[in-house]
Amino acid sequence: MATDNNDKTVSVLNGLIETCRDGEKGFTTAAEGADSADLKQLFSSMATQRGTFAHELEVKVTGLGGKPADMGHVAAAAHRGWMNIKAAVSGNDDKAILYECERGEDYAKKAFADALNESLPADIRPIVARQASDVTAAHDKVRDLRDQQNAMSDAAH
């Protein structure tokens, strides 16, 4: 069983696991709905990345004597920004999908920033910091692609 000190770390990591699982699901849905082959590939790789992140964190939670979080709940997913991805995908509008992915990534960035404000064990902090950096890079890539889509649609009008 986790000690009191570990309980807080397990709680923080479980929140990140749920965030990563939601991102994995969101990016998988985005990949299925994207029109562009490049976006399909990008979103698929981001989904895989989030699955890998969740697994890394699950190993740490188990090592602390905790029970890793299951998949995020629908209500929690809404708060993490992925609720509207289905609507965007149903329209097969790459710009709308990029917008919703960026919203999801906004929540992921905040979740990782909040986690890094916690007192994490020395063997866990570098993992969370690396993942936070990768989440920020993914967010910025999605944002830049969305901006490119906006510029192209503005030029077309």
- What b-and-e string marks burial along 133-155, b requiring 16 or more CB atoms within 10 Å of the CB? ebbeebbebbbebbeebeeeeee
Q: Contact 135/108 with Cβ under 8 angstroms?
A: yes
**In the structure, what pLDDT confidence band is assigned to residue 85 with cuts at 50, 70 and 90?**
low
* Stretch 37-45: mean pLDDT: 96
- What mean pLDDT value characterizes the chain? 87
Q: What share of the chain in percent tops pLDDT 90?
A: 62
What pLDDT score does 150 carry?
81
* Stretch 46-70: mean pLDDT: 95
Inform me whether the pLDDT recorded for 90 exceeds 90.
no
What is the enclosing helix (H) or strand (E) of 147?
A: helix 125-156
Inform me whether the pLDDT recorded for 1 exceeds 50.
no
pTM of the model: 0.87
Inform me whether the pLDDT recorded for 2 exceeds 70.
no
Inform me whether the pLDDT recorded for 152 exceeds 60.
yes
Nearest CA to 77 among 104, 101, 53? Answer: 104
State the Cα torsion 129-135-141-147 to the nearest 10°.
Answer: -120
Q: Contact 59/29 with Cβ under 8 angstroms?
A: no
What pLDDT score does 95 carry?
87
Catalogue all structural domains in the chain, each as residue range(s) with its CATH number: 4-156 (1.20.1260.10)
Q: pLDDT for 92-146, tens place per residue?
A: 688 889 988 998 999 999 999 999 999 999 999 999 999 999 999 999 999 999 9
